Amino acid sequence: MILKGNSQGVLIYKLNKAMFRIGLILLIFGILYIVKPDIYRRWIWKKTDIAQQRLSPEHYKRSMRVFGILMAVAGLTLLAICGFTP
């Protein structure tokens, strides 16, 4: 599909806007996982899944914090890409 004229600019603008939103969501959830690693264990889902049953509470919290750090870094990366895209 070949876009002509201003269509490319509109497509890049919409893609940049979507990437910004996804980056912001990843950053928020990453920070939430870092601050409250047991949010799904105690607040949202009362039933425990396999990972929660097999891991000790300390190891589960550590692994969820690492997951939160990875999500926050991915969100910051997307926000940085959106900041440098015209």
In a domain, 47, yes or no: yes
Instruction: Say if 24 falls within a structural domain.
Output: yes
% of the chain residues with pLDDT over 70 = 71
Number of domains in the chain: 1
Is the distance from CB of 42 to CB of 69 less than 8 angstroms?
A: no
Rounded CA separation 80/86 (Å): 12
What pTM did the predictor assign?
0.73
State the pLDDT at residue 43: 56
For residue range 48-63, what is the model confidence (pLDDT) as tens digits?
Answer: 566 566 778 788 888 8
Q: What is the pLDDT of residues 19-42, one digit of tens each?
A: 889 999 999 999 998 998 877 665
Q: Which two tokens stand for residue 16?
A: 């940049």
Residue 70, pLDDT > 90, answer yes
Within-domain flag for 72: yes
What is the reported pLDDT for 68?
Answer: 93
Give residue 48's domain range: 19-84
